[in-house]
């Protein structure tokens, strides 16, 4: 069974279009993340949800809107796509330990978005 | 602020050792290490926490100098499967929730 899955794996679209990426985890984790990895392989966090609530919202254009219908799913909707949005988008999940400690993150296979 | 990794790239022959360093200018709560192979997702290797606790794979070792905000990943007797890009992820835990800031990456190539 795949622990963290994403769909689609590849997405090619034109500027100005709206697209969505879906993520699901079957690990029973509390927290899910969206990362963007650009062409220089720089991996940067965009959003994080804990039990369906948004807890991290980095400086990301308003065109990006995450949504978590339940704690096993986290989707990313992107409006009015721009050339600079081309990247690989990774979903990840982890347990959350508020009392101390830190937990590994499990990454999905990634969605390669190409905007033409 | 993004942690800095060194070296940027390293080439090894199978069986050789390597050290990858990660340095932050901020006080850290934990350091994570991940390896990413070409076209794949990052995979967890190790967590080092402030106070000395560590979690990770038996064959990987790492250190965390809390005073200097530096961590090092030690790859010994390298195997072909060690090839990939290594990222450190640093955590400050200001808010009570985990937020990793990933480093610049170190590309490792192990040749036969």
Q: What is the pLDDT of residues B1-22, one digit of tens each?
A: 799 999 999 999 999 999 999 9
Does any CB of chain A come closer than 8 Å to the CB of residue B43?
yes
B contact test, residue of A9, A10, A36, A105 with most B CBs within 10 A: A105
Predicted local distance difference test score (pLDDT) of residue A99:
60
pLDDT of residue B51: 79
Nearest CA in chain B to A30: B97
Task: Provide the pLDDT confidence category of residue B54 given band limits of 50, 70 and 90.
Answer: confident
Quick one: closest CA in A to B107, which residue? A41
**Tokens representing A94?**
């982890």
CB atoms B100 and A106 under 8 Å: no
Q: How confident is the model at residue B97, as a pLDDT?
A: 79
Q: Minimal Cα–Cα distance from B97 to chain A, Å?
A: 7
Q: What is the pLDDT of residue B95?
A: 67
Q: What pLDDT, on a 0 to 100 scale, did the predictor assign at position B34?
A: 97
Q: How far apart are CA A50 and CA B106, in angstroms?
A: 30
Question: Is B91 in the A-facing interface, judged by CB distances under 8 Å?
Answer: yes
pLDDT category of residue B73 using cuts at 50, 70 and 90: very high
Cα separation of B73 and A26, whole Å?
30
State the average pLDDT for chain A: 93
Whether B86 has its CB under 8 Å from any CB of chain A: the answer is no
Q: Which band of pLDDT confidence, cut at 50, 70 and 90, is reported for residue A2? A: confident
Do the beta carbons of residue A88 and residue A37 sit within 8 Å? yes
> Residue A3: which residues within 8 A CB-CB, separation 6 or more?
A25, A26, A27, A93, A106
Chain A residue with CA closest to B51: the answer is A101
The mean pLDDT of B36-50, rounded to a whole number, is 94
Distances (CA, A) of B94 to A45, A56, A98, B28, B104: 16, 12, 11, 10, 22
pLDDT of residue B77: 92
Inform me whether the C-beta atom of residue B81 falls under 8 Å from chain A C-beta atoms.
no
d(CA A23, CA A90): 9
Contacts of B32 in chain A (CB under 8 A): 102, 104-105
Residue B78 in contact with partner chain A when CB distance is under 8 A: no
- pLDDT, one tens digit per residue, over A8-23 is 999 999 999 999 999 9
- Whether A86 and A15 have beta carbons less than 8 Å apart is answered as no
Distance CA B77, CA B32 (A): 22
Read off the pLDDT of each residue in A61-77 and give the average, rounded to a whole number.
96
A-B contacts (CB, under 8 Å): 65
């Amino acid at each position: 069974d795949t622990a963290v899955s994403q769909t689609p794996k590849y997405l090619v679209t034109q500027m100005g279009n709206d697209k969505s990426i879906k993520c699901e985890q079957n690990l029973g984790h509390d927290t899910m993340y969206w990362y963007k990895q650009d062409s220089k392989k720089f991996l940067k966090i965009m959003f994080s949800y804990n039990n369906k609530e948004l807890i991290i919202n980095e400086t990301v254009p308003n065109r990006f809107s995450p949504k978590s219908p339940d704690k096993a799913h986290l989707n990313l909707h992107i409006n009015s796509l721009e050339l600079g949005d081309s990247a690989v988008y990774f979903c990840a999940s982890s347990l959350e330990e508020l009392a101390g400690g830190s937990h590994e993150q499990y990454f999905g296979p990634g969605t390669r978005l190409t905007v033409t | 602020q993004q942690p800095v990794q060194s070296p940027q790239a390293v080439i090894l022959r199978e069986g050789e050792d390597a050290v990858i360093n990660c340095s932050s200018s901020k006080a850290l709560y934990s350091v994570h290490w991940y390896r990413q192979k070409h076209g794949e997702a990052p995979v967890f290797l190790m967590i080092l926490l402030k106070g000395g606790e560590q979690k990770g794979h038996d064959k990987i070792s790492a250190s965390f100098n809390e005073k200097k905000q530096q961590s090092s990943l030690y790859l010994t007797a390298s195997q072909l499967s060690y090839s990939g890009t290594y990222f450190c992820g640093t955590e400050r835990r200001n808010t009570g929730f985990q937020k990793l800031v990933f480093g610049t990456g170190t590309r490792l190539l192990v040749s036969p």
